[in-house]
Amino acid sequence: MKRAIGILLVVCLSFLSGCPSNNGGQIGFIGSVNTTDSGFTITGKVSNTGYTDARHSDVSIYLMSSNGTVLISKELGTLSERSSLNVSVSTKEIPEYIIINSPSFWTYDQISVSYYEIENGGSTYVQEVIGSKDEFPVPVPPNSSTPG
């Protein structure tokens, strides 16, 4: 019994100490989203708030229609542990989805990525959290594939 408790304690302490793992972090957006009759603006930061040494290159934001058409995309750069990337994008069309993506997100066994979907007749966006690229509601670049 003592051995089982000791092994469990070592496993728990290793997890809490920040030992390397295949955890890509928690990717999300903090800022403001404004919709008006004349268009759409998003301003703020994309951040990785996870406790990990993950480094994500080629992070982009995609404003997408309900059928998966990219209305506008913008490359943001490289996102490191507990860092953030500035976002400022405007378009005349109001997107159905605001999606943050990077090919490196999906190389991790564990990752939480937020995307945002319009609701209430186009007045607000609700956050959804996924752990796999296949969970996006529409195919997302780069290397788009149809969600399963």
Kindly list the structural domains of the chain, giving each domain's residue range(s) and its CATH number in brackets, ordered by start: 27-135 (2.60.40.10)
Q: How far is CA 103 from CA 5, 100, 121, 142, 147, in A?
A: 39, 11, 32, 7, 15
Say which residue, 50 or 137, is predicted with more confidence: 137
Residue 55 structure tokens: 């480094």
Mean pLDDT of 104-116: 92
Single out the residue of 89, 94, 148, 87 nearest to residue 119, CA to CA: 94
Beta strands in the chain (DSSP E): 23-36, 39-48, 55-64, 70-80, 84-91, 97-101, 110-119, 124-130
Q: Is the pLDDT of residue 21 over 90?
A: no
According to the model, what pLDDT value does residue 38 have?
87
DSSP state of 94: P
pLDDT of residue 51: 62
The structure's pTM equals 0.80
The pLDDT assigned to 109 comes to 83
